[in-house]
Amino acid sequence: MSPVHGPGAGEPLVNHFRRLFDCDRRATALLVDALRGAERAPERALERLAHTVAASEVWLSRVDRTAPRPDELFPKWGLNESAERAEAVGRAWSERIGSWTDTRLHQPVRYTSTEGAAYESRLHEILTHVVNHATYHRGQIAVDLRAAGFAPPTTDFIAITRQKA
């Protein structure tokens, strides 16, 4: 059984988010490997990766006020810095989610947007957004890789979690 598989019906919702974030981490690592393997990684793909990682850091800092926040949402990091930060923020999310309960997932989180507006969202809504945002940009990066003549890795959730029957 894959490490992302877990209990079935009746399992705590928090387990679902643990698996989503585990898959998110694996999918990002696959893209990083593909970008490293490209003789010249597309610049737009590197920009998208940096933004995706920075956004995850921003959301983590909103959920956990002790987590560091990046200086900007669209940083000019190179591949190595983005990869290191992606792994670090992925580990940080896993550590946090690993200690949460379903009750915690339904609690509100108050935060200020990058435009300075005050908002409140339930934690599970934020977690869903973080994963969806990363998935969206991984798709764009795959298009960038393909346009540059490289085969992108498969990063679909089902491809990472499924098992042969």
What pLDDT is stored for residue 8 in this prediction? 58
Q: What is the pLDDT of residue 22?
A: 96
Q: What is the pLDDT of residue 4?
A: 46
Q: What is the DSSP letter of 154?
A: P
Mean pLDDT by 10 residues, the chain (165 residues): 50 93 97 94 97 98 94 96 98 96 96 95 98 98 97 94 82
- DSSP per-residue codes, 50-86: HHHHHHHHHHHHHHSTTS---S-SS----HHHHHHHH
Q: How much is the pLDDT for 2?
A: 39
- Say what the pLDDT of residue 9 is: 63
pLDDT in the model for residue 1? 32
Rounded Cα gap, residues 79 and 82, in angstroms:
5
User: Which residue type sits at 154?
Assistant: T
Q: 13-100+110-160 belongs to which homologous superfamily?
A: dinb family like domain (1.20.120.450)
Q: What is the pLDDT at residue 32?
A: 97
Number of neighbouring beta carbons within 10 Å of residue 43: 10
Residue 165 is predicted with a pLDDT of 77
